[in-house]
């Protein structure tokens, strides 16, 4: 079976008198000279389609199948475990540590990766986790122009840029500002905390708004006043004190 190509030529609209002057003695061969018509057998045509399909970029073929697994959450007392954290990271095609630090900052809790799981040292609801993961996707994964996830993060000087492999668009990564960012602790100030957990090295771990505070020589459940000695990002190191709490 062959593919039949039919070519039609339409003359411009004109009066009968002008038509006779312009097209008298017209021959199709004069106007179609040099035009090549190729008749392709079905098998050859399908083979060309297969070649074209295999040469398509992987991002174009697979973007419709982008789906992030629903977080599989397990509550163990005051501990929250995302059991399929590794599967979520694989779907997003991002560095596990990058997503980890984002979630810890946004949720204001310490945590760590254990194999395929993410262990958060606080009781976090499913709604909170889903909201933060969606925020990560909107900020660090989806292209703002075509909406596809076929992106990668590159660094341009001090600026993180999200570059899309599908449409070529690029934009600076703008991390949304959290209301928690308004609170800031100061070195030398005294705060009252409650130790919620004990780390591997025996230091007490407490939360103070968006900060994780490490206090040596304390037990889980202890309530005490501490003086901040050092701050590194959202992590602070403190020691117990009897000084009065500093005014906010």
Cβ proximity of 90 and 135 under 8 Å = no
In a domain, 10, yes or no: no
State how far the Cα of 121 lies from the Cα of 209, in Å rounded to an integer: 14
| Same domain, residue pair 85 and 138 | yes
Write down the pLDDT at residue 1. Answer: 47
Whichever domain contains 185, its CATH number is: 2.40.50.140
In a domain, 129, yes or no: yes
pLDDT at 132 > cutoff 50? yes
End-to-end CA distance of the chain: give it in Å, rounded: 85
| Same domain, residue pair 144 and 212 | no
Cβ proximity of 85 and 96 under 8 Å = yes
Whichever domain contains 86, its CATH number is: 3.30.70.3150
In a domain, 66, yes or no: no
State how far the Cα of 228 lies from the Cα of 63, in Å rounded to an integer: 48
> Which residue, of 172, 189, 212, is where some domain finishes?
172
pLDDT at 27 > cutoff 50? no
* Pairing state between β 235-240 and 211-215: parallel
How many domains, the chain?
2
Residues 6+ apart with CB under 8 A from 73: 80, 81, 82, 83, 126, 129
In a domain, 14, yes or no: no
| Same domain, residue pair 151 and 79 | yes
| Same domain, residue pair 160 and 130 | yes
| Same domain, residue pair 113 and 161 | yes
| Same domain, residue pair 162 and 192 | no
The encoded tokens of residue 240 equal 């117990």
Helices (H) and strands (E) in the chain, counts: 7, 12
In a domain, 9, yes or no: no
Measured at the CA of 149, the angle between CA 98 and CA 146, to 5 degrees, comes to: 135
In a domain, 8, yes or no: no
Tell me which of 104-108, 119-123, 215-219, 232-236 is least confident.
232-236
CA neighbours within 13 Å on the CB side: how many for 202?
2
State how far the Cα of 88 lies from the Cα of 66, in Å rounded to an integer: 11
Q: Would the pTM of this model clear 0.85, i.e. be above it?
A: no
State how far the Cα of 125 lies from the Cα of 76, in Å rounded to an integer: 12
Helix crossing, 85-92 with 96-107: angle to 10°? 110
> Which residue, of 172, 192, 221, is where some domain finishes?
172
| Same domain, residue pair 163 and 188 | no
* Pairing state between β 170-172 and 190-198: unpaired
pLDDT band at 28 (very low <50, low <70, confident <90, very high): very low
pLDDT average, residue stretch 130-151: 91
The encoded tokens of residue 232 equal 């590194």
> Which residue, of 155, 172, 189, is where some domain finishes?
172
C-alpha Rg value of the chain to the nearest Å: 32
State how far the Cα of 248 lies from the Cα of 228, in Å rounded to an integer: 14
The encoded tokens of residue 141 equal 């994964």
pLDDT at 20 > cutoff 70? no
In a domain, 1, yes or no: no
| Same domain, residue pair 166 and 186 | no
Write down the pLDDT at residue 247. Answer: 77
In a domain, 7, yes or no: no
Cβ proximity of 73 and 80 under 8 Å = yes
Tell me which of 34-38, 148-152, 235-239 is least confident.
34-38
Write down the pLDDT at residue 183. Answer: 67
pLDDT at 166 > cutoff 50? yes
Please give the residue range of the domain that contains residue 164. 73-172
Tell me which of 18-22, 91-95, 111-115, 226-230 is least confident.
18-22
Q: How far is CA 180 from CA 8, 9, 43, 98, 176, in A?
A: 69, 70, 64, 20, 11
């Amino acid at each position: 079976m062959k593919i039949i190509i039919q070519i039609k030529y339409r003359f411009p609209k004109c009066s009968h008198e002008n038509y006779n002057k312009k097209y008298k003695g017209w021959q199709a061969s004069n106007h179609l000279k040099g035009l090549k018509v190729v008749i392709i057998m079905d098998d050859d045509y399908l083979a060309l389609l297969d070649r074209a399909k295999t040469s398509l970029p992987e991002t174009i073929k697979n973007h419709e199948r982008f789906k992030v697994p629903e977080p599989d959450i397990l509550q163990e007392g005051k501990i929250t475990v995302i059991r399929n954290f590794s599967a979520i990271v694989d779907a997003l095609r991002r560095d596990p540590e990058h997503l980890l630090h984002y979630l810890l900052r946004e949720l204001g809790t310490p945590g760590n990766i254990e194999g395929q799981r993410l262990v958060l040292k606080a009781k976090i609801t499913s709604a909170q986790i889903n909201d933060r993961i969606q925020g990560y996707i909107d900020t660090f994964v989806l292209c703002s122009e075509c909406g596809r996830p076929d992106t990668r993060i590159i660094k341009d000087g001090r600026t993180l840029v999200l570059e899309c492999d599908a449409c070529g668009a690029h934009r600076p990564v703008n991390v949304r500002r959290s209301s928690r960012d308004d609170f800031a602790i100061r070195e030398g100030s005294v705060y009252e905390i409650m130790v919620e957990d004990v780390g591997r090295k025996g230091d007490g771990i407490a939360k103070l708004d968006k900060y994780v505070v490490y206090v040596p020589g304390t037990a889980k459940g202890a309530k005490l006043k501490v003086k901040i000695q050092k701050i590194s990002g959202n992590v602070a190191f403190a020691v117990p004190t009897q000084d009065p709490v500093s005014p906010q």
